[in-house]
Every structure is written in structure tokens, then in C-alpha cells.
Structure 1
Amino acid sequence: MKKFTGGLFVGILATLAALFSGLFTFKKTVVDPIEEEEERFDDNRRKAMRKSRSSHQG
């Protein structure tokens, strides 16, 4: 029974480790680039608004 319990415990840990590494990889390859692109668009929008306002000042 000890071998079964130990194997079950190791199997559960290995499964959880694989799940978390998959989620971390997904976040780094899919979610972070999308967030960086949205941030870049927001920065460009802010720069365009400042430029637009300063060009119509005088």
C-alpha cells in the first residue's frame, strides 16, 4: 500500500506541475503579447491626442 500511495502522490504532483507550466507558457506566449500591443496602442493614442491639441493651440 505504501508504493501505491507514494506513486499516487508523485503522479498528482507531476500532473499539477505540468498543468501550471502549461498555463505559464500560455500566458507568456499568448496573453502577454496581446497586453503589450494594447499598451502600445494606448501610448500611441495618447501621443496623438497631445500632438493634436498642441497643433491647434495657436
Structure 2
Amino acid sequence: MKKFGIGVIIGVVATVATGVGAFLGFKQKIVKPIADEEAKFDSTRIQSARKAHQAHNPRY
């Protein structure tokens, strides 16, 4: 019975470790590139708004 208990504990730990690894891999491959792309779009939008404002309101 002692070996069975140790096997169950090792199995649970391995399953949890696999789940955490899958979550971190998903976050790294899917979520992070989307967030980076959205940040790039936001910064480009802000820069273009500044340029448009400056082009239409010159300081003389």
C-alpha cells in the first residue's frame, strides 16, 4: 500500500506540472504575441494622432 500512495502522489505532481507547463506555453505562444501586437497598434495610433494634430494646427 505504501508504494501505491507514493505512486499516486508522484502522478498528481506530474499532472499538475504538465498542466502548468501547458498553461505557460500557451501564454508564451498565443497570449503574449497578441498583447505585444495590440501595444504596437496603440503606440502607432497615438503617434499618428499627434502627427495629424500637429499638421492641422501649426504654430506661427
Deviation at 1:49, TM superposition (A): 0.3
Runs of 4+ aligned residues of structure 1 deviating over 2 Å after TM superposition are none
Aligned residue identity for 1:30: I
Match of residue 46 from structure 2: 46
The CA distance in 2 between the partners of 1:28 and 1:3, in whole Å, is: 37
Q: Give the match's secondary structure for 2:57.
A: coil
Where do 5+ consecutive residues of structure 2 fail to align? none
Report Cα offsets for 1:1-28 as digits up to 9, x if no partner: 1100000000000000000000000000
Identity %: 38
Aligned residue identity for 2:20: F
Match of residue 28 from structure 2: 28
RMSD over aligned Cα, in angstroms?
0.5
Where do 5+ consecutive residues of structure 1 fail to align? none
* Paired residues, number: 58
